[in-house]
Structure formats: C-alpha cells, structure tokens
Amino acid sequence: MEYRVLGNTGLKVSVLGYGASSLGAVFREINEEDALQSVRVSLDMGINFIDVSPFYGLTRAEVMLGRALAGVPRGNYVMATKVGRYGASEFDFSAGRVTASVDESLARMKVDYVDLIQCHDIEFGNLDQIVEETIPALRKVCAAGKARFVGVTGFPLAALKYVTDRVQVDSILSYCHYSLNNTRLEGFIPAFKASGVGVISASPLSMGLLSNRGAPPWHPASPDIREACIRAAEHCRSKGADIAKLAVQMSLSNPDIACTVVGSASSANMRENIAWCSGKPDPELLAEVREILKPVHNKIWPSGRAENN
Ligand code: NAD
C-alpha cells in the first residue's frame, strides 16, 4: 500500500481509504460478520484511513465501526467522521449541535478522539454559517482534544471552494468527481493545493454506477449516465475485465489526491480493491471505456440548495 500526506496535516494516509457508509446498509442489507471482517481485512492489508458519518445507517455505521475496531490500537488508523447531516433531509450545522455530535460519535465508536472532523454535505446548509459558525466551533472541538483536523465534504465543487476560500480548512472530501465518467475535481485541485487543503476523493465506483451490480435505485444519476455506465461495464465484461478494477485503478492515478475512499461491507470486495491498488489501468481498455462514456463525461446532478450548485 502506498501512503500520501494529506495537505498540511502531516497525516500519512493510505491511497485507498475505507468508506463505512456500506456498514450502515445504504446499498443493500448486509451480513454483519462479513461487514466487520471487511474493516479488519482492510486494516490488515494496509488501509489506515476510515471515513464515516452519523448519517450512514442513521448511526449504525459508527456503531459497527466501534465493534470492528475494538482492540485495534488507536494509533494504527486515521479516523474521519462528520457532523451536520443526520437524515436524508435533516441537517444542523449550528455550533451547539455539531459540538454535541462529536461527543456522540466518539461514544458510538468508543474512541477518545477522531483525526478529522468534517462538515457533511455542506451544500445543504448555509455556506456562510459553515464559514462563520461551524468551522470555528469544530476548531474548539480540536482545542479540547476531541479531533485533530477539520474538513468539509459535499458534491458541488464550487461549494467546497467557496468555503476553503474564506476560512482555513485542513481537507476537502469530494465524491463522484474523479473516476472514469467524471474528472471535474482535477480543475479544482490547484486552488485547494494553493490553500494548503488536503484532497480526499470518494466514490471511485461512482456509488455503484461503475460496477457489475450497477447503481442502487436511489442513485441521483440521470438515465443517460446510468445507461452509458451499463454499456461500459458490459464492454469490460466482453473483454474478460471488471469495470470496478479499471475504475479503482484510474481513480488512484492522480498523485495530488491523497486518498481515494471506496466503500464495501464485503471483505471479498475490499480484498479485491486493495489488490487492484498495486496495478495501473490497462491503457487500451481505459481508452475504449472513455470513448463509451464520452457523451456523459463530467455530467453531474444537482445536490443541495440551488444557490450552492
Ligand atoms: P463507491 O464508489 O465506493 O461504491 C460503492 C459501491 O460499490 C457499493 O455498492 C459496493 O458494494 C460496491 N463495490 C465496492 N467494491 C467493489 C468491488 N470490488 N466490486 C464490485 N462492487 C464493489 O461509493 P460510496 O460507497 O458511496 O463511497 C465510498 C465512501 O466514500 C463512502 O462509504 C463514504 O465513506 C465516502 N463518501 C462520502 C460522501 C460525503 O461525505 N458526502 C459522499 C460519498 C461517499
């Protein structure tokens, strides 16, 4: 496993991170034992970055992580959780709520601190509140020793930039913006780097679009994106290849992205994802798949408040 430094934090994170939303059964009902195993296998195989949120499975993912990590020395992994999102349309970025939220997450995960505390899906909130109230409250949480660094996450890249242009933030987590069908994140990296902001990219499989199982029903992609991704997956199968492998390898290829966070509650999937990290994407297959996805390349969907998109 390769490790990269996250912005100015000094944290050395594995290039592939473990995304725990699957532990909250957001994609399908899960086998709890295998889900716990997927975390342990990931750590044993070199992953040290874990991303979660109270929102995933409405606290279930954090509780599951508390069980999976019992007995693992705290210094062995970099833990990132979030504040502000508590349901599909339940958000509260007020200083009081986010401060209490950190204590609740620590209790669920049975840890004394997290390495990174992130505002979850900021585009659903008032960005000026994030700048003026939420981030300063999270700095106080850091001063109290309950977190080390502060980040923001969300879908519209402009919203992430709006905040990092106005207040010092240690990292951003962007998702579905650096993979086979979308590379928009690339255009924003110079600005994030210039502000000393570490870059984390999530969802290399575009939340299931770039897999043989396909996207879950709630996936926000429009039918043309879904259909193009299905065609691309079929093309890979016809060549004896797995589109998930190509997607993971392509997503890891940008050295300015410190960590790419993939999610799976299946230990077999995580073994596969980690094994794929050591290889480069097949250039011929990559070119063919890019051609299939060309009509929908960089096509996105709205997320959150209209003014934040
Ligand atoms: P993803 O692109 O990682 O895709 C996950 C889906 O792909 C799941 O259905 C999983 O079972 C499947 N999968 C994983 N490995 C596979 C393999 N080897 N073969 C076939 N299928 C495989 O999307 P994601 O889970 O949404 O994102 C990863 C993580 O990133 C999340 O768990 C979360 O931690 C983080 N994330 C954060 C935000 C945010 O903060 N706003 C948004 C999206 C994702």
Enclosing H/E stretch for 4: strand 3-5
Q: Is the CB of 177 under 6 A from ligand 1?
A: no
pTM: 0.97
- At residue 30 the predicted structure's pLDDT band, cuts being 50, 70 and 90, is confident
Ligand 1 neighbour 42 (Cβ under 6 A): no
What one-letter code names the amino acid at 19?
Answer: G
Region 299-309: what's the mean pLDDT? 96
Please work out whether the CB of residue 272 comes within 6 Å of at least one atom of ligand 1: yes
* Ligand 1 pocket mutation, candidates 26, 116, 211, criterion most atoms within 8 A of CB: 211
Is there an atom of ligand 1 within 6 Å of 27 CB?
yes
Tokens 């797995």, residue?
Answer: 242
Asked if pLDDT for residue 125 goes beyond 90, the answer is: yes
Ligand 1 atom 16 nearest Cα: 269
Kindly give the distance from the C-alpha atom of residue 264 to the centroid of ligand 1, in angstroms, as a whole number: 6
CA distances from 148 to 58, 94, 118, 191 (A): 24, 20, 11, 23
Q: If you search the block for the tokens 């086998």, which residue do you land on?
A: 31
Active-site residue (options: 18, 56, 77, 162): 56
pLDDT at 27 over 70: no
What is the pLDDT confidence band of residue 28, given thresholds at 50, 70 and 90?
low
Domain definitions of the chain by residue range: 3-206+250-279
User: How far apart (Å, rounded) are the C-alpha atoms in residues 217 and 67?
Assistant: 29
How far away, in angstroms, is 140 Cα from ligand 1 center?
31
Look at the alpha carbons of 50, 52, 57, 63 in this order and tell me if their dihedral is positive or negative: positive
What is the 8-class DSSP label of residue 179? B
Regarding the domain delimited by 3-206+250-279, which CATH topology (the fold level of the hierarchy) does it fall under? TIM Barrel (3.20.20)
The answer, yes or no, to whether residue 209 has pLDDT greater than 90, is: yes
Residue 99 and residue 303: Cα distance in Å, rounded? 25
| Interval 259-283: pLDDT, tens | 999 999 999 999 999 999 999 999 9
Instruction: Indicate the average pLDDT of the chain.
Output: 96
* Structure confidence at residue 228 as a pLDDT band (50, 70, 90): very high
Mean pLDDT of 22-51: 90
pLDDT above 90 for 29:
no
